[in-house]
Each structure stands twice: as structure tokens, then as C-alpha cells.
Structure 1
Amino acid sequence: MGKMSIRDKLALLSDAAKYDASCASSGTSKRGSRDGKGLGSTTGSGICHAYAPDGRCISLLKILMTNYCVYDCAYCVNRVSSNVPRARFTVDEVVWLTTEFYRRNYIEGLFLSSGIIRSSDYTMEQMVLIAEKLRAGGFRGYVHLKTIPEASPELIERAGLAADRLSINIELPTDASIKAFAPEKDPAGIRGAMGKVRLTKEDYGDRSYTGRRRGRFAPAGQSTQMIVGADKADDRDILGNATRLYGAYGLKRVYYSAFSPIPDASAVLPLVDPPLMREHRLYQADWLLRFYDFSLDEIVTRDAGGMLDLDVDPKLAWALQNRDRFPVDVNRAAKEMLLRVPGFGAKIVQRILKARRHGALSLDDIRRMGGRVKAATPFVIARGHHPGGRLDAADLRARFVKPQQMELF
């Protein structure tokens, strides 16, 4: 095979990076520059490639440094036994591409991952050098590095000092699945690396006796990804593991990636895609667990087979199963209960709490605030509205079921 051009490498290694969902730039502060030096910031405009957790559209150059890999993970298109074209960027090529794309306002930052070549430390050092060279050249955009769990603590520390976010992918929901599909990876080692990142970040955040912090380590925190549908784990397994990861390692996000059959797929993996709606429901349930004070047992139970309802969103599913908790009076109910009303998101609830101080609210008032009144109507009391017997209707659930519905809170 002849020498590949940078353009050919970019086409191959950007396509190979599409299987990693864990790229978002929420949580970092603006890298301002009062002296006018440096390149850009994390808040510039450009073409959109991803959505941050806070809803911002962001544009990232999302590539692998290389798709060569010494590991043989069954779910990975780049595993050593996979018959796919291979390529590798040099450190300077990635620095040049990122800088040039940024100058042209095509991107707002870099998401960099890689297969493992030679060793974990060698690969991690190459990725860290890319981030360090970008910063040394004045690059002020967002940098997200995929961290290799087996890499040395010194390299992880350097990575966090150069990058805005670090991510270490757990990949599969259970230790048994990791051992079955990625026998060269150690689940305990992955969690240990997450713990080291958290401790290092906390160490850098501690103030000295002078009131100063040691430095700026991964200000946007760390994230991880779990593949959904490649193994037999149910939604309760997945969300339970996510809850533990959030609590133990202070993760900013757990990303859920619906498995899709990959080129030259391993025979041990399923040949059928899981429904994309399952991935969507997991994100909705994750949001309820983190920001709406729902417990895992409220969202998904073993009695339901450990799976989320694909036809209705998890908040609506809970409301339908707990009709005795409704209707809720929007003019009197506590914030905690208003957050459990289908169609009411956190922002709408805040608007309701503020507006009702000045008078009783009607459904039209809430509609003007942005509330999804159609979803909320059977579950609330408002000025001029009482649901009557709607909560007892046998077909209430059926009224909400729509093919390919993609609800937002």
C-alpha cells in the first residue's frame, strides 16, 4: 500500500471515530485572552457536529490518531483481527489539521481517541503530545482526550493539564460482558483509572494556604460510554452501573451508544441492531436520575423485565403507574412534585414557581411558558381546569403512544 495523503487519512480515521459517542464540551470555562494572543475559544461559531449536554451545538474535529490496535475487543471495528484499512496520523499532522480547521472556523475543538499501538504508555504519550503542542501554539479551543486506563499516572496527569475533558470508556454495562467480549481489558483497572482522574482533579482543585489552586486539571471533568445491545444486559443493569459510576467517580456524563453491526463483525455479536429508541429512553432515564430526584427502582423494575417502556418516556411511564399521586395542583404543589409531572421540565417548573406568586395559573399560562400542556393535562389542576376522571381512563396510556416519538422533558 502506498503512502496515504492527509486527506485520505482524515477520511478513514474520522469515519473510524464515529462509533464513539462520548464527545461533548459542556462544563468548561471560556479560555479568554485579554492580550489578544492565542487562537479562538470554546464558544466560537462553526458547523455543528454534536450537541453538548446543555443543549449547545458544538463542532469538533473527531478523529482517531490511528485505527491500528493490538487489542481484539469483539465489539470494535478496529480490533487487531478486523480486516479493515488502517492508517495513522503523526503528532504534527493532527496539530496542523486541528489548527487549520480552527483558523477557518470549521470546528470549535478536537476530540481525539486512538487504537493501542506498541503499548498503552506509548499511545497515550503521543496523544498527550498533540494536546500539549496545540496549547503551546496558542490553541484556546476545546480538547477532549480519550484516556487509556493502563497508561501511567504521570501521563494521565499531563493529559488533564492539557485537555478540557478526559474520558475513559467502560464500554459494556457489566464486568462479565467486558471479560467475555474484551478479555484484554480489566474492568477493575478501568474504574481504578477513573478514580485516579477524580482524585487528581480534586487535588488540583484544593486551595493552598495562600488561597491559590495548583492548576487547571480537566475543567470539564470526565465522561464514559456504554454500548447498548451488544450483550444481554437489561436497562436496569445499564442504569444501575451508570448510577454507581456517577456517584463513585463524579462523571459529567455517561453516554449510551446503541450497538450497530460493524464491518467484518465478530461472530459472537448480535446481527440485529437494537432499537435506537432504547438509547433515547436510556438518556431520558439518566436525566431523571440525575436532575429530577427519581430513584432507579422508580424508573425501571425487575417486575417489568428490567427494561424501559419504548412506547412512552420514563417520566410518563412512572406517572401512569402512580396515578394515585395525581392530579397535581400547579398553583400549590411543591417543586419536587411538579418536576414529576409529564411535560414539565426543570425550567418550566422554575417559571411556574415564580409566576404563581402573582396569581393563579391556567393551562394557557403554562403553555405560554413553554410547558408541554398536552402531556400534562390529565395530571394537573390549574385555574379553570380539573382533569376529572381522565386519570382513570383505561386508554390513557394509548393516547400518548405515537410511532417513533422522541419526547423531551
Structure 2
Amino acid sequence: MELQAKLAILADAAKYDASCASSGSNARHSLGGRGIGSTEGMGICHSYAPDGRCISLLKILLTNHCQYDCLYCVNRASSNVPRARFSADEVVQLTLDFYRRNCIEGLFLSSGIVKSPDFTMEQVVEVARALREDHDFCGYIHLKTIPDASPELIARAGRYADRLSINVEMPTTDGLQALAPEKDESAIRRSMARLRLQIDDAREERKRVVPIRALPGATPVATKPPPFAPAGQSTQMIVGADATDDRRILATSATLYGAYRLRRVYYSAFSPIPDAARALPLVAPPLMREHRLYQADWLMRFYGFEHQEIVSASNGLLRLDVDPKMAWALAHAERFPVDLNRAPREMLLRVPGLGVKAVERLLQARRVRRLRAEDLRSLHVPARKVLPFVVADGHRPAAGDAARAAQQLRAPAPPVQASLF
């Protein structure tokens, strides 16, 4: 098969994986004449999910042959799709060629499982090794690791990759057993725990700089051991392929963040696939649900919210018409309005419309004078969203302002495609 035909198949096969981002990687670049590639600046391809979502990250599979038969996966063993397989050298050359054309900022590499987990992982690691050592590639590399692969191979992957990821696939054990019975949740968790220990150990070791002398009387040179997956690890879970509600999904995410110190949990709304199994839903969940989960995830990571307080509905689902912080504020009207001049940082972060940077600016400004409603605009804060929930000098919201603001800010109904005939 020609390389272009392989690329068409294996790039399309990777579009369902959303867990790919270069945030948090070391700032490497080719200035000074050493190496090629960069983890900074622009230059990236886009992948498109079948429902039209634009995923601004390059993703490619080493192969879409797979010995597993996960029901939600288009590349499962029983799926009737065209198959292809790259060699390690072909992936290396494609990465270098696309980067030289300013099409990508690096490589995200995943793979189906062929022959054995160790055989597949060895091929994935060889791609990263060749890029780093043979071609001095300085760009971003994200490798999808295989939980059943040997610890030695995963340790080698961490030496070359900026980020490693292991997908938990489903939010619950029951969901994984029902839709991917060949996958072992305990093996996935063991691999994630092992990765956390290796990442933590490498960071601690790099903090201990060892001075050495090249020659007698020379200036000591500080050397550090090589980094290990400096951008950490991430994971992805599928939303809407089973009946798991948002409350349980966020609880699983909170456990993953706490136990394995993940950099990101990605949520991928289930998309119906060709020749789908009967156990899967026929209709995809609304994409807004995925968006709301990302917003709720942000609240847990940066705004001090606990996972159990974000979802208040009895059905365990996030509201789709307003964002999770607005929904929380409407459900806790007794906590508002908040005094901008006296409230602590923790409460200011719960005001709809106030982000982390805006709260820091407000705290700095009120050290020198009392805040007024007009100050929100000068601090680039969305006053229309904030004012119904706060008190400031010369301003106090009227009864019902919060509900009216929420009504005005409701998510619009999705557009309907007009018919030509």
C-alpha cells in the first residue's frame, strides 16, 4: 500500500482520540542551529470528528489492526474497516516532512494492538527514539501507552516523550466490562500508578543538581538527569456510550486527579460508528454535554469546587442550558450577592463570570481603594454576568436579577440545517 493511502486510513482512524495537547511540555526549540522542531509557536494540523468537531491536534495510528474487540471502537477486531500499518521509519519520515512544511508542531502516536502489547509498544517507542536520537527532533511527542506492556518499555517511552497517556476508556468498571471485556481495569490503574511514581521520581532527581568538574580548576558545571515525560500523563474517557451520569463521571475524574496526579482528563462524546454493536446507543449524546463536563472539570482543577457539589440535579446530569458555575450559583441563592470589597478569594471564584485572573486583579485593586460597579469594566470583567451576583459601592442587585441574567445567557438552541429540496 502506498504511503499516502496508509496516511489517509490511519489519520482518519485516530480522529476519535481527543487526549492530545502539548501544554506543559518543556520549551525546546531549534534556535542556535541544533536540531529541528519546536514545542512553541504555531504550526499544527486539524482532525475532524464525524459530527463536525474540529480537533486541532495531529493524531496518527501506527496501525489500526487490533486484536481487541472493544464495542465502542471503530478499529475493533470485528469491525469492517480498511486496515493499514506503518513501519517505524515511515512514521518518522512523515513527522519530519510534515513539520518541515509547518503543518504540525509534533507527533501524537497511538496504535491498535498487534501480536502482543510488548511488540506494539516496542514499535511505538522506536519511533520516538529515532526522532530524538537519530534526527535530533525537538518538537512535541505524545505517546499513547499500552497498559499491558512491560514496565521497561513504558519507562523507555517516558525518556523520549513529552507526555504519556493511558486511556481509562469508560468512567466505571461495569461500563468497561460491558463494552471492553478484554481490557483489565486493574492493569490500567497499575500502569498509571507506575507512571506517576516514575514522573515524580524524575522531577525530584532533577531538583538535585550535581556539580562536576571537567578539568582541575575549571568552573563547576551543573548537570541534570534527563527528564521523564515532563508534561505528565493524561487519560480519556468516553461519554455517552453507557448510562453513566455526569455525577459519576466527575467523581471518577476527581479520583484520577488525586490518585495519579494527571495533567488532564479528556472527555470524548461518543460518536456512532459504522457496524455498531447493539449494546451501543443509536444516537450520540449532545456535544454540549461534553462541553459542560470540561467546564466542570475546570471548576474542580482551578476554582476550588468539589466534584460532589457541581451536579445538583436529581438525574445526576449537568444542566445544558447554562454553564456549571451559573447553575451552582442559581441553586445556592442564599450565598449571594457577594461583596466585592470584603469577600474572600474562595467565594469570589464562585461568582459567575469571574475567572482566576479577574479575581486576582480584583484583590489587587481593592487593596488601594473600594471597588465600584464601573471598575468591573475597566478590569475586563463581563459586568452583565457578574453584577446580578455581587455588591459593590453604589450597586446592589435587585430581586430576580440573577434569574434574568441566567435566562439571557442560556445556550442558544443548536442550528438546524436547511434543506435544499
TM value normalised by structure 2: 0.89
- 1:26 aligned onto 2:19: no
77, 80, 90: which one pairs with 1:80? 77
- 1:280 aligned onto 2:280: no
The match for 1:270 is 281
Q: Is the 8 A contact 2:18 2:55 kept in 1?
A: no
Provide structure 2 residue ranges, at least 5 long, that are not aligned to the other structure.
48-53, 212-222, 415-421
Q: Is the 8 A contact 1:235 1:307 kept in 2?
A: yes
The match for 1:219 is 230
Partner SS state of residue 105, structure 1: coil
Question: What do the CA deviations read for 1:222-273 (whole angstroms, capped 9, x no partner)?
Answer: 0000100001100011000000000000100000000010112112100001
- 1:402 aligned onto 2:411: yes
* Structure 1 residue identity aligned to 2:388: P
How far has the Cα of 1:33 moved from its partner? 5.0
How far has the Cα of 1:298 moved from its partner? 1.4
* Structure 1 residue identity aligned to 2:118: D
Provide structure 1 residue ranges, at least 5 long, that are not aligned to the other structure.
51-56
Q: Is the 8 A contact 2:209 2:224 kept in 1?
A: no
Question: What do the CA deviations read for 1:159-188 (whole angstroms, capped 9, x no partner)?
Answer: 010000000000100011101110110011
Q: Distance in 2 between matches of 1:158 and 1:59?
A: 28
297, 318, 325: which one pairs with 2:328? 318
How far has the Cα of 1:32 moved from its partner? 3.8
How far has the Cα of 1:34 moved from its partner? 6.2
Partner SS state of residue 80, structure 1: coil
367, 390, 404: which one pairs with 2:400? 390
The match for 2:216 is none
* Structure 2 residue identity aligned to 1:106: C
How far has the Cα of 1:383 moved from its partner? 2.9
Partner SS state of residue 25, structure 1: coil
The match for 2:43 is 46
- 1:304 aligned onto 2:302: no
Change (3 A) 1:347 1:90: same
Please give the residue correspondences for 1:343-362 in structure 2 after superposition, counting only pairs within 5 Å.
343-362=353-372
68, 73, 92: which one pairs with 1:71? 68
Question: What do the CA deviations read for 1:273-324 (whole angstroms, capped 9, x no partner)?
Answer: 10101101100111111111111221014x6221111111111111111111
RMSD between aligned residues: 2.0
The match for 2:300 is 289
The match for 2:143 is 145
The match for 1:210 is 210
How far has the Cα of 1:369 moved from its partner? 2.1
Q: Is the 8 A contact 2:45 2:58 kept in 1?
A: no
Change (3 A) 1:366 1:48: farther
Change (3 A) 1:181 1:402: closer
Q: Is the 8 A contact 1:206 1:214 kept in 2?
A: no
Q: Is the 8 A contact 1:59 1:106 kept in 2?
A: no
Q: Distance in 1 between matches of 2:79 and 2:226?
A: 42
Q: Is the 8 A contact 1:47 1:58 kept in 2?
A: no
- 1:245 aligned onto 2:283: no
Q: Distance in 2 between matches of 1:84 and 1:328?
A: 56
Change (3 A) 1:228 1:202: same
The match for 2:193 is 195
* Structure 1 residue identity aligned to 2:200: E
Partner SS state of residue 284, structure 1: helix
* Structure 1 residue identity aligned to 2:198: T
Q: Is the 8 A contact 1:204 1:213 kept in 2?
A: no
Q: Is the 8 A contact 2:65 2:114 kept in 1?
A: yes
Q: Distance in 2 between matches of 1:277 and 1:32?
A: 37
* Structure 2 residue identity aligned to 1:379: F
Q: Distance in 1 between matches of 2:57 and 2:18?
A: 12
How far has the Cα of 1:22 moved from its partner? 0.2
Please give the residue correspondences for 1:73-152 in structure 2 after superposition, counting only pairs within 5 Å.
73-136=70-133, 137-152=135-150
How far has the Cα of 1:370 moved from its partner? 2.2
How far has the Cα of 1:332 moved from its partner? 2.1
Q: Distance in 2 between matches of 1:40 and 1:181?
A: 39
Change (3 A) 1:384 1:320: same
Q: Distance in 2 between matches of 1:223 and 1:94?
A: 23
Q: Distance in 2 between matches of 1:246 and 1:160?
A: 19
TM value normalised by structure 1: 0.92
Question: What do the CA deviations read for 1:5-56 (whole angstroms, capped 9, x no partner)?
Answer: 1111111111110000100011012114564210021003224538xxxxxx
Q: Distance in 2 between matches of 1:258 and 1:236?
A: 16
Identity of aligned residues (%): 61
Q: Distance in 1 between matches of 2:333 and 2:125?
A: 53
Change (3 A) 1:71 1:199: same
How far has the Cα of 1:112 moved from its partner? 0.5
